[in-house]
Structure 1
Amino acid sequence: MNINENHISLLSKAFEKDPMFVYLFSNKKGNEQSKTLIRFIVKRNHILEGLILTDHLKNPSYVAVVERPRNLTTVSIRAKVRLNIEMLLLVLKLPFHVLRFLTKYQKLTTASAPNGPHYYLTMIGVVPSSQGKGIGKKVLREIHSIARSSQPPYPISLDTENQQNIAYYTRFGYELKETKIVEGLKVYCMTRAAE
């Protein structure tokens, strides 16, 4: 499904109290910078042929951004060029401290992910008025079904900066593999084994 500004706004709203987003975007331009980062994450996911799960174009109740198992050596030259252009545009739009943090974050979290191919749950957001109604559970089950039906079945990894999320994801079979610290911010790296 195509993603639009309604989806970007939903993710921005869902992550506005996330410890990483608070840390990175606590200035006057924070909301717009947050949306800039989310747009980049979505574009990157699209270029790398990832998954976007959502229920509606105009009034979505959830959005999930999931990277498929991949090997960057199999990514086309065209996709690599597009990705580099998007990264250059991001450099021009975000403050240096945000870019520095994101570089450190990616390096540390990648080191904690499974060594082999796996799905990576980049973002999952539920509109605040629909939280607590089982939508997150439904979306996770859909992601788990996709990973399970892959040939071969793949594990799923995710990272969260919100300590309360650890118990939530543990109920769905994720294990806390490592806790990393990026510029004083704790990042909890979790993995769900292939089924």
Structure 2
Amino acid sequence: MTGVIRDLRPSNKAAFVAVMAEAFAHDPLFVAAFGDDDGSPGNRKEIEVFLSFLLDMTRIIGGMQRGLFVDGKLAGCSLVEPPAGNHVAQACRTLASVLRFLPVAIRLPWRTTVLLNGYMKATRAAAPHLPHHYLALVGVLPERQGQGLGRRLVEDAFEQSKWHKRSKGLALDTENAGNATLYRRWGFEMRETVDIGGVTAYCMFRPSGERS
């Protein structure tokens, strides 16, 4: 099995949301924020709203929206944020994020909004204070996990950071201790662990120039 990694198109948005909703149905952060995925329409809708927001925001800030297609069907995805620019550019980026998140926040329970905001702030604060790419989201359909697809998406993101003229590497966060062990094997170093609302996030970084 090989599959093809390419940029997602606007027509892939519904497939992205469906794939990532399945991939993260039992992720500790998603469980804490949205409740366990029991198939209830309200719960599923909240997850889809948030995933759609993440996809849109990655596009707005000039990031990468990547999909891994196996036999023509989307099996996994990644969202990668570019290095922060100068202060003016960063201020514009922050404002765009706030404005885009406002209508999303209205559609989510208040506790969910508070938890997700706290998570984003805490994990980004743990990242290196130097230009870097950030793997905001990476996931593979449950039935496709264990086939090396997740690593291919992570390596694809790292390649982008490695050849970028300003980026010093790739940062990511995971709430799964098993994933953190895998990332260590793939060249990532643990920077910090943070607790947000009972969820432990492992904040990791792989410097550019490291090869697998």
TM-score (norm 2): 0.84
2:179 aligns with 165
Q: Aligned pair 1:61/2:70, yes or no?
A: no
Q: Aligned pair 1:186/2:192, yes or no?
A: no
1:40 aligns with 53
User: For residues 111-140 of structure 1, what are the alpha-carbon distances to aligned partners after superposition, in whole Å with 9 as ceiling and x for unaligned?
Assistant: 100101111001111122221111112222
Contact map agreement 1:14 1:126 (CA 8 A) in 2: yes
Shift of 1:4: 1.1
Shift of 1:80: 6.3
Query: How many residues matched?
Result: 194
1:107 aligns with 121
Which residue of 85, 98, 120 maps to 2:112? 98
Equivalent residue of 1:62, what SS? strand
50-59 or 166-175: which moved more? 50-59
What CA distance in whole angstroms lies between the structure 1 residues aligned with 2:199 and 2:153?
27
Contact map agreement 1:48 1:75 (CA 8 A) in 2: no
Describe how 1:128-167 pairs up with structure 2 within 5 A. 128-167=142-181
Q: Aligned pair 1:73/2:88, yes or no?
A: yes
Shift of 1:76: 8.7
Shift of 1:143: 1.4
What CA distance in whole angstroms lies between the structure 1 residues aligned with 2:161 and 2:62?
15
2:23 aligns with 14
86-95 or 48-57: which moved more? 48-57
User: For residues 50-74 of structure 1, what are the alpha-carbon distances to aligned partners after superposition, in whole Å with 9 as ceiling and x for unaligned?
Assistant: 0011134972011101101122622
Q: Which amino acid aligns with 2:121?
A: K
User: For residues 17-38 of structure 1, what are the alpha-carbon distances to aligned partners after superposition, in whole Å with 9 as ceiling and x for unaligned?
Assistant: 1001011111742211111111
Q: Aligned pair 1:49/2:62, yes or no?
A: yes
TM-score (norm 1): 0.91
Q: Aligned in 2, Cα 1:83/1:107: closer, same or farther, shift over 3 Å?
A: closer
What CA distance in whole angstroms lies between the structure 1 residues aligned with 2:132 and 2:43?
32
Q: Which runs of 5+ in 2 are unaligned?
A: 1-7
Contact map agreement 1:117 1:154 (CA 8 A) in 2: yes
Q: Which amino acid aligns with 2:89?
A: T
115-124 or 144-153: which moved more? 144-153
Q: Aligned pair 1:4/2:13, yes or no?
A: yes
Shift of 1:81: 6.2
Which residue of 119, 134, 148 maps to 1:120? 134
